[in-house]
Amino acid sequence: MTAVSKPQAQSPSPWARLRSSARNHRSITILAGWLIIAVGLPLIVLIPPLSTFQPQSLWIDGFSNAGVFILLAMGLNVVVGLAGLLDLGYAAFFAIGSYVYAFGASPFTATQIPFWPMLLVGALIAATLGLLLGAPTLRLRGDYLAIVTLGFGEIVPAVFLNASSFTKGTNGIGGIYKPTLFGFNFTLENPVPYYITMVAILAVTMVLLYRLQGSRLGRAWMAIREDELAAASSGINTITTKLLAFALGASTAGLAGVFATSKLTFVGPGQFGFQVSFTVLAMVVLGGMGNIWGVATGAFVIYTIQAVLLKELNQFFQAIHAPILQNIDFVQYQYLLYGIALVAMMLLRPEGLFPSSRRREELHVDSEDISDIPPPTEALGQ
Amino acid sequence: MTGAPTTTAIAPGASASPAPDDILLRLEDVHTYYGQIHALQGVSLEVRRGEIVTLIGANGAGKTTTLKTISGLLHPRQGKISFEGKDISRTPAHQLVRAGIGHSPEGRRIFSRLTILENLKMGAFTRPQDEIQGDLDHVFELFPRLKERISQRGGSLSGGEQQMLAIGRAMMARPRVLLLDEPSLGLSPILVQQIFAIIQEINSSGTTILLVEQNALQALIVANRGYVLQTGHVALSGASADLRENEMVRKAYLGE
């Protein structure tokens, strides 16, 4: 075992210099990264074969939808990846954000609060409900917390379904107002304004999340994920710290809900089933828990596969009349495919596609090291 | 469960009541439960400023529970704990770290995926990060081994090094009383000697120490006073030298 290897300082290559300045100005790097992505993606889809799948405007529209899932995955990453709390009912907060916007800006409630403040309102209300759910349940750990959150994820859509005088029940609330900006109206025909809005939200959220991860609070999350009792013995208020992770994850989902609803202009209780929570969790796990860029990439890849490539796979096999394969509807089997992908990942690359450096070490330690790693956190001794 | 079990103070010196401001930590008839299990059945003890006090006793006697109850990881259902004259029976653990109670818990519980430096900085979580360099230097003085391996992951350290890290981490919060739970557990005889020497060194620089040990002989050598716990209550207490001579202690804990 040697000390950490420092990069050679004698003659830094331009690439190394770029890397080190990117580390020092992380926020600017993230914003620049998103700018490149925002400009690059619409251009990439003009290249075959991507251009043959669907027209550019549909691609751009799809990217905004993918952005919703990236946002959800980044939020869930705070809860699961950073603080180590398994949340199986994350879609509940997505639902809350969605309905908050529907209540604030639809003919059904005869109110029209503008979209931009509603983004904040949706995030705040979701965060508040996250605190309310978290306060009694975060004393539970591991499997028990997972079960309670699973229940919460089922209860919230059920409430929206059954409180029909407020939510129109199973019919859902339609005709929700689209955003406007300085007199400019967002329309369904032009996907670009939604796309730009989404990229801006993602860029700002990511900068904030990176700052939090490096902050005192981020260190407290890390300590709790590693060993809750030792964290408490180090002077970390474990209850508050876990609550903050929960509330922050919830507020991100609320933000995603407001955006998604303003774009879909409809909200119904069927949109927030367990498969949404599961899909987002799969995105976090496949992308690489704890690594914000990794999780975002995982979400983007999975969403694109699910929304575009599976359909294309169907058409491709039908076009070449592949035996057996041409009769399979891959879109229908997407959850089977997720399941297979998750099992394969756990066996072959349990740290995810783009792991944080810490996770990588945790799962691929040299064999001499592993014998000394103590067992995972036990109950706090209550 | 009622009635304090009889506690035998065997040393005349130990029962002489010291000046009240001299007492740093005092437990009065503390009862702690795990659910229905009555783990501490009326523990009373006191730790004076500058002392090393040891708690010895068999497995399951309540030594670890006593430390956890003091550091706020558990709370007593009955009885009172006071630290520097203030009642802390209900104070949560993270506030007690700020108040000056450091706890190096049972089983070391270092953050195995963080480096040594990150572990130590986590120990100083309650303090401004720009003021801890002196404390880091102090810990590295006590444990030069840790400095050699500063960027190595905690989980890759040997048992002895992990124990040093656990003690060092607790020191980083600048505790006025340091609770050490089985620091010699699983260490080689040479390392045990080293750890006990370091405990004395920490004490001589002004930190009061409450030491839980299976290694009763070593503990009674370094400690000023000791308490013998038996099934959740104090069976015997007194100056270490007297406890070492006590027949029951010799039979039960020193293996004679």
CB atoms within 10 A of CB A3: 10
Q: Count structural domains, chain B.
A: 1
Chains A and B form CB pairs within 8 A to the count of 99
Contacts of residue B209, Cβ cutoff 8 Å, sequence gap at least 6: B51, B52, B53, B177, B178, B180, B199, B202, B203
pLDDT digits (tens, 9 = 90+) for A226-235: 999 999 999 9
Q: Is residue B1 part of a domain?
A: no
Nearest-Cα distance to chain A for B224, in Å, is: 26
Q: Is residue B114 part of a domain?
A: yes
DSSP one-letter code for A140: S
| B12's tokens | 């005349």
Task: Find tokens 């009642």 and name the residue.
Answer: B87
Q: Is residue B2 part of a domain?
A: no
Contact B94 A237 (CB under 8 A): yes
Give the one of A229, A234, A374 whose C-beta lies nearest to B122's C-beta.
Answer: A234
Contact A372 B170 (CB under 8 A): no
Which of A366-370, B4-8, B69-73, B154-158 bottoms out in mean pLDDT, i.e. has the lowest? A366-370
Which of A221-230, A344-353, B135-144, B200-209 bottoms out in mean pLDDT, i.e. has the lowest? A344-353
Helix (H, G, I), strand (E, B) or coil at B32: strand
| Mutation site, A4, A226, A233, interface B, largest B CB count within 10 A | A233
C-alpha to C-alpha distance for A244 and A320, rounded to whole angstroms: 53
Contact B156 A372 (CB under 8 A): yes
| B163's tokens | 């124990």
Q: Which CATH number covers residue B197?
A: 3.40.50.300
Once rounded to an integer, what is the mean pLDDT over residues A310-328?
A: 82
Planar angle of CA B198, B145, B163, nearest 5 degrees: 55
Mean of the per-residue pLDDT values of chain A: 85
The amino acid at residue B238 is G
Cβ proximity of A355 and A294 under 8 Å: yes
Cβ proximity of B81 and B88 under 8 Å: yes
Task: Give me the residue spans of the domains in chain A.
Answer: 27-271
| Mutation site, A5, A227, A234, A242, interface B, largest B CB count within 10 A | A234
- Bridge partners, B56 (sequence order): B213, B228
Long-range contacts of A303-309 (CB under 8 A, 24+ apart): A303/A62, A303/A65, A303/A66, A303/A69, A303/A70, A304/A62, A304/A66, A306/A279, A306/A334, A307/A62, A307/A65, A307/A66, A308/A53, A308/A54, A308/A62
Q: Is residue B193 part of a domain?
A: yes
Q: Omega before A269 cis (within 30°)?
A: no
The pLDDT value recorded for residue B8 is: 58
C-alpha to C-alpha distance for B55 and B106, rounded to whole angstroms: 14
C-alpha to C-alpha distance for B209 and B222, rounded to whole angstroms: 11
| B215's tokens | 């290694």
Nearest-Cα distance to chain B for A379, in Å, is: 11
Longest dimension (CA), chain B: 53
Q: Packing angle between helix A238-264 and helix A192-213, nearest 10 degrees?
A: 170
Dihedral (C-alpha) B238, B240, B241, B245: value to the nearest 10 degrees? 70
Helix (H, G, I), strand (E, B) or coil at A252: helix
Polymer length in residues for chain A = 382
Nearest-Cα distance to chain B for A362, in Å, is: 7
C-alpha to C-alpha distance for B43 and A170, rounded to whole angstroms: 61
Is residue A381 very low, low, confident or very high in pLDDT (cuts 50, 70, 90)? very low
Once rounded to an integer, what is the mean pLDDT over residues A263-277?
A: 91
DSSP one-letter code for B115: B
Judged against a pLDDT cut of 50, whether residue A371 lies above it is answered with no
Higher pLDDT, A269 or A109: A269
Nearest-Cα distance to chain B for A104, in Å, is: 41
Cβ proximity of A27 and A213 under 8 Å: no
DSSP one-letter code for A265: -
Q: Is residue B5 part of a domain?
A: no
Question: Which domain range does residue B220 map to?
Answer: 22-252
